[in-house]
Structure 1
């Protein structure tokens, strides 16, 4: 597994301590004299409770400080865990662990969640090289590196470095075990499974899918996150694990009938739908510990059904457009394992709660973990409510939520619940790449606006500008033939409209003006940017840039790539293209109704400007937008606050910033306490308010912990 890296946040995101997963062995002696300070680094000193304290001078110092220590004992293991504290976690962008063996260095990174003591888990699979190389060299040196984040000093405490083994394993699908081109998907699903287990307090190792030769004796639970092409030999190995070892399997999105029968389930059949399923509903009385609902978005399912006497179905998929129709089972559990009808869900509090409840139903030994997690979650909910009571909302706080298209039948009730908990605005997805979504057409939008007015909700049209990722193929088929798409530096077309083509701008601007005429409270732009450095280098972009500089570019795009002679001028060109587009769009909207609020979801600084051509501070200073919503999707309050500070420093006024909190983003899934800590950071900085991503079952679960602002 050398060279395999899964960038999985640690359990410290929740501020919890990882439980013992196996026998621990110290790796180095915890004494200041053992650690040799590197360049620009200060020697550590001892602290009374048996740890070692390192000074991190990042207010004026270097980008990195590090310390080396000789390895006392480092036998091959599934992971290395380090126990740390940090008084200023925002100062440290990342903490790296490097291990040297035979002249080769293996490295892995983690982030520090907060100031409390926490355990960071470095799995063997996290390292860019195998820390235990097959050439027989013994690891000799361990290096601990802190990388600069915010410009401030910090103190890093170290209280243990130990090896760790696991009794749970996630089986990552190989090239041969997945369909062609799906190895990256298998890696992503394995990462999701590891995060789900981490959040559940059940850390796991990552193993290959060579099940026929792999020693499965150390494990009591195997997780198959995405393993669509299991061979007969692999199935036999899993059968031995279940029947002889009495092990449990957790299987996600699999069509293998033999595997389903092994666990006591009926063979799954593939199901799809034009509208995505977004929510799993549970009967909380079926088994102890189930949540009421779990957010998960998909248009593809492989649902199994209960067959064996010990099997039971847990949860059903709510039909987005037909709530009373037939409902498909989301998961099935028996004494041999769990089956989920899609890939592992993001590790939201509800997903963790479902997983632990299902595990406890499969094997009562996990009931203790289920109950522990429930108690911890209750405690964190109590802490969240207390934080928000201590830092009440100002009277002018503006609360918004992003929402994927809301089913028409549930819209009035959804708006009412949001309003009851102090939400003022909904940014509902209505358009992508110049195309209206079905829910934004004449009659549905009229009904939506009426429901919003009845609840006292402002309905803003969330419009994805240049990206076409959400559109079906039938909507995008004409763009390539008309040469309207972006191109990368190799000339390959990207699923993005090129902003240098006049017809593309006209398409988008006309659409936004039309939405304004139909009465929305605001136009909220998204993807008003370039796809980082991937584009655009198409002929239209080249012609527009050459016109800008007044001469031909003889070597295109080599002369405009990062580090090339014209790179700085090309960067400014990209900024100006996006700025003029935003100016044109909002001018057209305000010509219809000057009272409409114009805003945009943006990347934080500095990447917004440096990588995406998104100079939103200039948009605010020029008055093109009323406010921006920086997507500050961070798992911890300290990092959220640090990124928010950078945005506020660039904004003309704090009231122009509506910080985006990633409650249920791809990279962050927050519980009530984590969300409350970020809301607290917002309130102490007097911003316009905050926006939450996004409207789903996780938000519905957390809303009751958010006291409504004063009337």
Structure 2
């Protein structure tokens, strides 16, 4: 995507975590300068954006480019000539700062080489401090017929702006450097993760985020294990479940020659043996008894949130000083003897995939790499900084927390609610229903907690208990139940007719099944019902039940299904409105039933924060507010970028003048999209309070939130 391809650029995503914007916290490996600002730099800039004012300061040498964009253009850009890129370069590093960050929705870098471009997309900056913009060869997308990236001589830096922005934009540039890295992440493809390429990319991004937050420079290689990867000091294998013999052999050779290797969730015995480890057999657990985290043997110990029901435990052998440095804790928060991570002189092996980059996980990552490469790893950043003071809480503020765990012991419940109350939380969205399955004691689930015990513990500590219901998604369902639903044609299907692990909202039996579970919860005294996954997935639904309901709703036959209802089809807009109708009609049925049984029950829903995105998935939540079908809306504003967070709050608040009185901001302390420190959390709470919203909800309960973030923010309720 060159600077000329506006159509492709408008679709920029901010999910490419791997090539992230990294705040400069520590010294990187030796760099070779490709561009250093001088007083004469202005004359060397090509295609300078119109009306750009260029100034130079000498301490340190900085080039400042300032311009006022045209409201009709979604971006501004500058072309910067660079010196020859050394052949062993593994990353390009641009040391720059942008302001105001609230105006920038994305950044892209484009290297002009030969007769084309090599481009990459980056998330927007999070602050006005100088940051490093990284371009890594593996993640560059070609356009045209570019030559090898080492032949690039011009770098285009593009800032993509939010719609309608016309205020002045400033870019400060200090250097463009070529870097030769010593640490690399191996991103798997169909070679080592056949059929799971998307998951492999997600896990590579997770590993990258851990390194980025730990201020550890790195690059990427693909899983062909190219010769350049053999020159690294350390390789990281985030997810490669099916290593082939050549890959296995290359990695063993790398280790035998002194390289260090970190492997996640893998059962390749020969590779494990070469590091001094032995792979155990796969272990699984029921949803209610998942392992919630693991703890290190260090003093003081770190407890790293990482919930899973699947493990391949590694064990140390007597070779290479192998030892266990972390163990899993069980669903009762007790330590087990199951290793979570083992290390040796040759590397480390984890029982599961990389954890989310919570502060404790970042600290553990830094400790582990410093152990393996003591003379290479830079000084660790401190993720446990002192947060700013909180704005005074408004009267009747809802301070909620999502809880996806299913604790089975009454004493656990008492300890949980006591901790929440002490830390100012007054509402709990506790996961109690997934599709048709209740996560409380029933004949089918005798080991799960009794609903009466949960409601009693909540009442003892004056906490409003809302039953969190995941409506259509069946992620927690056993495969046997999915098979039954599939045989009855009750699942959603994708455009190719493949079953999806979602119940179809258009099948009457599915609606009744979910509704009966909700009625059971209401009859047992919960204060509220919190509806989640009240939508369609992005790739569905095109099942027979959906087609039948759509044709009834239109009162006409659809001749060419599903082609007519796809984005390029003649009935696409009608299909979007039908999906909104289906979800809204179900919401109306739920609300009617609840208010007939317990009129004071609070009904809330988790939704996408952008109303347009929500509508495309069937969530017409502005209408739900207008018709009082939902009492409270919880936009899932999960981001680490405070500018993006504020932008989402603003968009939601435009729904109606009083919308903020019924909005609860979702704050992703440990969501897939964001992992926050106490400081990040405080900034987002203050943003919510400054807009006088009804409250906020923290996603989600884990050891980090309960025992680090909330106590640091205490008292959150003042």
TM-score, normalised relative to structure 2: 0.89
Secondary structure in structure 1 of the residue aligned to 2:501 = strand
1:318-337 matches, cutoff 5 A:
318-321=329-332, 326-337=336-347
Give the 3 Å change call, closer, same or farther, for CA 407–69 of structure 1 in structure 2: same
Deviation at 1:62, TM superposition (A): 1.6
Instruction: Identify the residue that residue 106 of structure 2 maps to in structure 1.
Output: 94
Moved more, 93-102 or 155-164: 155-164
Specify the alignment match of 1:69 in structure 2: 80
Following the alignment from structure 1 to structure 2, what is the Cα–Cα distance between the partners of residues 310 and 283? 16
Q: Does 1:353 align with 2:363?
A: yes
In the other structure, the counterpart of 2:293 is 279
* Counterpart contact for 2:191–2:243, Cα < 8 Å: no
Equivalence for 1:542? 547
Distance 1:324 1:197, change over 3 A: closer
| Alignment correspondent of 1:339 | 349
Identify the match of residue 639 of structure 1 among 636, 644, 649.
644
Cα deviation for residue 488 of structure 1 reads 2.7
Provide the C-alpha distance between the structure 1 equivalents of 2:464 and 2:112, rounded to a whole number of angstroms. Answer: 58
Unaligned runs of 5+ in 1: none
> Superposition pairs for residues 122-141 of structure 1, below 5 Å?
122-129=135-142, 138-141=151-154
Tell me the CA shift for residue 93 of structure 1: 1.0
- Partner of 2:29 in structure 1? 21
For the 8 Å contact 2:84–2:150, the answer to whether it is kept is no
C-alpha deviation, 1:114, in angstroms: 1.6
> Is the 1:96–1:144 contact (alpha carbons within 8 Å) kept by the matching residues of 2?
yes
State whether residues 469 and 495 of structure 1, in contact with CA within 8 Å, keep that contact through their aligned partners in structure 2: yes
| Among candidates 301, 305, 311, match of residue 301 of structure 1 | 311
Quick one: distance in 1 between partners of 2:325 and 2:138? 32
CA RMSD across the alignment: 2.8
Compared CA separation, residues 508 and 210, structure 1 to 2 (3 A): closer
Aligned to 2:218: 204
Shift of 1:185: 3.0
Distance 2:148 2:606 in 1: 50
Residues 358-412 of structure 1 show CA distances to partners (whole Å, capped at 9, x for unaligned) of 333345436x74x633xx234x2x1x1xx134x2333432111111133123222
Q: Is the 8 A contact 2:110 2:120 kept in 1?
A: yes
The CA distance in 2 between the partners of 1:194 and 1:709, in whole Å, is 32
2:336, 2:614 → 1: CA distance? 48
589-598 vs 446-455, which deviates more? Answer: 446-455
1:704 lines up with 2:711 in the alignment: yes
Q: How many angstroms apart in 1 are the aligned matches of 2:238 and 2:654?
A: 43
User: What SS class does the counterpart of residue 573 from structure 2 fall into?
Assistant: helix
C-alpha change, 1:656 and 1:526, in structure 2 (3 Å) is same
2:195 equivalent to 1:163: no
User: Counterparts of 2:598 and 2:331 in 1: how far apart (Å)?
Assistant: 33
Name which of 197, 203, 207 aligns with 1:193: 207
Question: Structure 2 stretches of 5 or more lacking a match?
Answer: 1-12
1:132 is displaced (CA, Å) by 11
Contact residue 395 and residue 709 of structure 1 kept, 8 A: no
| Change in 2 beyond 3 A, CA 1:300/1:71 | same
Matched residue SS, 1:365:
coil
C-alpha spacing 1:708/1:58, structure 2 compared with 1 (3 Å): farther
d(CA) in 1 for partners of 2:641, 2:327: 32
Choose from 102, 106, 115 the match for 2:128: 115
Counterpart pick for 1:312 among 320, 323, 328: 323
Q: In the aligned structure 2, how far is the partner of 1:38 from the partner of 1:47?
A: 15
The corresponding residue for 1:403 is: 403
Q: Quote the Cα distance in structure 1 between the aligned partners of 2:196 and 2:559.
A: 39
Distance 1:450 1:16, change over 3 A: farther
**What's the TM-score, normalizing by structure 1?**
0.89
DSSP-derived class of the 1:33 partner: helix
Aligned 8 A contact 1:335 1:363 in 2: no
Does structure 2 retain, via aligned residues, the 8 Å contact 1:166–1:218? no
| 8 Å CA contact 2:97, 2:129 repeated in 1 | yes
Distance 2:148 2:138 in 1: 18
Q: Which residue of 2 aligns with 1:613?
A: 618
Name the stretch that deviates more: 634-643 or 453-462: 453-462
Match of 1:78 among 63, 87, 90: 90
How far is the alpha carbon of 1:230 from its aligned partner? Answer: 4.1
Partner-residue secondary structure (3-state), 2:583: helix
Q: Is the 8 A contact 1:17 1:118 kept in 2?
A: no
Which stretch shifts more, 401-410 or 143-152? 143-152
Rate the CA distance shift 1:136–1:396 in 2: closer, same or farther, 3 A: closer
1:106 to 2:113 alignment: no
| In structure 2, C-alpha distance between the alignment counterparts of 1:209 and 1:653, rounded to whole Å | 50
Taking the aligned partners of 1:62 and 1:116, their CA distance within structure 2 comes to 26
**How far apart, in 2, do the equivalents of 1:137 and 1:195 lie?**
26
Cα offset, 1:606, TM superposition: 3.5
Bigger mean CA offset, 639-648 vs 672-681? 672-681
State how 1:491-506 maps to structure 2 within 5 Å: 491-506=497-512
Stretch deviating more after TM superposition (251-260 or 679-688): 251-260
- Please state how far the C-alpha of 1:343 moved relative to its aligned partner: 1.3
